[in-house]
Amino acid sequence: MLYATRFRYSVRQIPNFVPLSTLPPSCSCSWTSLHFHSEPPSLREVDDAVDSFTRMLCMRRPPSIIQFTKILGSLAKTNHFPTAISLFQQLQARGIAPNLFTLNILINCCCGMGRITLALSTGQTSAAIQVLRKIPRHGIVPNVIMYSAIIDSLCKDTLVSDAFHLFSEMLAKGISPNVITYTTLIYGLCLAGQLKEAIYILNHMMRENTNPNVCTYSTLIDGFCKEGNIKDAKSVLAVMTKDCVKPDVVTYNSLIDGYCLVNEVNKAKFVFNTMAQRGVSLDVQSYNILINGFCKNKMVDDALSLFEEMRCNHLVPNTITFSILIDGLCKSGRISCASKLLVEMHDKGQLADIITYNSFLDALCKNHHVDKALVLFNMIKDQGIHPDICMYNILIDGLCKSGRLKNAREIFQDLSIEGYRPDVRTYTIMINGLCKEGLLHEAFAFLSKMEDNGCLPNAVTYEIIIRALFEKGENDNAEKLLREMISRGLLQG
């Protein structure tokens, strides 16, 4: 219980064990629904695996559990977790006892289900814990692999206190953690921003004679870099080097990203350039990070040069690479260049996503190409891509600023038709457009409408209307809204 006490975590009650048949619905699938959980290219393999499993299960004398476990393992490795869980349940119904490896696979599948269906992740991890509780009934003692898999899943769900609860339980049962267990805990703490505690775990594992590996150190370096704390990241790197653990591409990518985050792009470029000298090959992620750093610092030409270098080194740019560059070019006003890159992206088979289109649409609107923006918007919808609220806001804002209130109203109406709820920014954009055209009565109607729809105005919304009222000489109404702002805590009196 040392760790739970030290970090002052509120330990939550682990759910009581229930029979495996009561796993969450998404964990159990009938044979007819197997296809819907699988990736198209491997449907044949999944069907073959299920057929083989079924044939073995129907034998008068079924083969050993090892043969069943091999099939379950192959399904788990290809991320067909629901299928593996369903087959395990049939194995259990037939009365065939699992072995240690079968149960390891089952726990990994439950945890894996959580990573795939994020909305149900906590439920899936809970299912894994339930499996863990039932294991002793099979005469099998839970091992470090089982505990580590569940701790990993809890940490990825940012349920760090629950992870430490399970870790404490593991220690109490005399199960020694391994490097994976410790690395997982360090990752969870970094994810929660608890870097001091992560350092404590690093020191503790070393005292317990468990040597950190490249993944352990890289996880901690990445945690510090994401906080913009390059100094401590470099300290960890120094310890890593002293312990003769060679940094890999992930380690260096974290450092490059950290330097870019604190706008020290030249230092990021230095790390980038020295990677090859240290025998570490650059990957697409390395280029993407530095290209993004250049674009964020308005060094678009440097980003383009790096893009060309990347292709010369036979690395294939991905959607992220193109999206970063298009965004950088758009923000620097180089729309024609961004347009060519968008075409090239399409020709290379890299499909533009909503983020890419939002960048391009924003640039068109800000450079007064509203008609082109409308054409692009309709083209995006025709391609079957559903615009997000951000895209609607960009277009409505562009139309309002161009005095095209009629079009802006039409797009606003389109939001409801498409099933979107306007957010505070959407309403504020429309109110701003109406105020600039002197349509204060309609602006007030929008203010009432947004409140009726459960969307509360913010300080910016009020400020726009109040300024318009003062400019029109309606001082009493302006002061009334000011008092309302103060009463809502949006302005200090």
pLDDT of residue 352: 87
CA distance 80 to 78: 6
Helix axes 284-296, 249-261, angle to 10 degrees: 10
Rg (alpha carbons) of the chain, rounded to whole number: 28
Region 92-108 average pLDDT = 81
Q: How do residues 350-374 score in pLDDT, each as one tens digit? A: 888 899 999 999 999 999 999 999 9
Enclosing H/E stretch for 472? none
Of 440, 444, 395, 438, whose CA–CA distance to 415 is shortest? 395
The pLDDT value given to residue 119: 33
Torsion, Cα 438 441 444 445, to 10 degrees, reads -130
> What pLDDT band is residue 25 in, cutting at 50, 70 and 90?
very low
DSSP state of 135: G
pLDDT band of residue 197 (cuts 50, 70, 90) is: very high
Task: Collect all residues with Cβ–Cβ distance below 8 Å to 310 and sequence separation of at least 6.
Answer: 284, 287, 317, 321
The mean-pLDDT minimum among 90-94, 253-257, 294-298, 309-313 falls in 90-94
| Cβ–Cβ < 8 Å for 162, 194 | no
Q: Which residue has the higher pLDDT, 23 or 409?
A: 409
Confidence band of 29 (pLDDT split at 50, 70, 90): very low
Ramachandran category for residue 19: left, alpha or beta (phi over 0 → left; psi -120 to 50 → alpha): beta
Give the confidence band of 243 by pLDDT, cuts at 50, 70, 90. Answer: very high
Angle (CA) 287-292-295 rounded to 5° is: 125
- To the nearest 10°, the Cα dihedral for 16, 22, 24, 26? 160
pLDDT of amino acid 5: 32
pLDDT at 117: 39
Average pLDDT of the residues in 300-316: 94
DSSP at 117: S
pLDDT above 90 coverage of the chain, percent: 53
**Residue 354 to residue 318: CA distance in whole angstroms:** 15
The mean-pLDDT minimum among 84-93, 307-316, 335-344 falls in 84-93
Q: What is the pLDDT of residues 414-471, one digit of tens each?
A: 888 888 899 999 999 999 999 999 999 999 999 999 989 899 999 999 999 999 999 9
Residue type, 65: I
How much is the pLDDT for 124? 53
pLDDT reported for residue 31: 26
Separation CA 423–CA 425 (nearest Å): 5
User: How high is the pLDDT of residue 113?
Assistant: 67
Calculate mean pLDDT across residues 72-88: 84
> Is the pLDDT assigned to residue 235 strictly greater than 80?
yes
Residue 70 or 97, more confident: 70
189, pLDDT greater than 50: yes
* CB count in 10 Å sphere of residue 34: 20
Comparing CA positions, the residue from 357, 437, 380, 430 lying closest to residue 403 is 437
Structure tokens at 286: 């390395």
Place 125 in a pLDDT band, splitting at 50, 70 and 90. low
- Give phi and psi for 380, each to the nearest 5: -60, -45
Give the pLDDT score at 115: 45
Band (141; pLDDT cuts 50, 70, 90)? confident
Whether the Cβ atoms of residue 367 and residue 394 lie closer than 8 Å to each other: no
pLDDT at 485 over 90: no
Which whole number is the average pLDDT over 20-47?
Answer: 40
Give the model confidence (pLDDT) of 273-284 as tens digits. Answer: 999 889 999 999
| Confidence (pLDDT) at 87 | 85
Whether 8 shows a pLDDT value over 80: the answer reads: no
Closest to 189 measured CA to CA, from 217, 220, 234: 220
pLDDT of residue 84: 84
Amino acid at 7: F
Closest to 103 in 3D by CA, of 93, 91, 119, 118:
91
Q: Smallest Cα–Cα separation from 169: which of 137, 150, 153, 147?
A: 147
Quickly state the pLDDT bin for 37 (edges 50, 70, 90).
very low
Q: Report how far residue 326's alpha carbon sits from residue 292's, in angstroms, rounded to the nearest whole number.
A: 11
Closest to 434 in 3D by CA, of 425, 426, 443: 443
Residue 375: is its pLDDT beyond 90? Answer: yes
For the entire predicted model, the pTM comes to: 0.72
Does the CA dihedral 440-445-451-455 come out positive or negative? negative
Q: What's residue 493's pLDDT?
A: 54
**Least confident window among 57-61, 187-191, 325-329:** 57-61
**Domains by residue range for the chain, with CATH:** 1-175 (1.25.40)
pLDDT of 11 > 60? The answer is no
**pLDDT, position 123:** 47
**pLDDT value of position 176:** 94
For residue 96, the 8-state DSSP code is P
Q: Which of 40, 154, 39, 24 is nearest to 85 (CA)?
A: 24
Question: Would you say residue 88 has pLDDT above 80?
Answer: yes
Is the torsion defined by CA of 308, 310, 315, 317 positive or negative?
A: negative
Determine the pLDDT at residue 13: 25
Mean pLDDT of the chain: 84
Q: CA 94 → CA 61, 91, 490, distances in Å?
A: 12, 5, 65
Question: Among candidates 223, 202, 204, which has minimal Cα distance to 213?
Answer: 202
Reply yes or no on whether the pLDDT at 4 is more than 60.
no
pLDDT of amino acid 263:
93
pLDDT of residue 24: 34
* pLDDT value of position 210: 94
More confident residue, 290 or 125: 290
Could you give the CA distance from residue 479 to residue 423 in angstroms, rounded to a whole number? 26
Position 114 scores a pLDDT of 52
Helix then strand then coil, in percent of the chain rounded to 5, is 75, 0, 25
Give 261's contacts (C-beta < 8 A, 6+ positions apart).
225, 226, 228
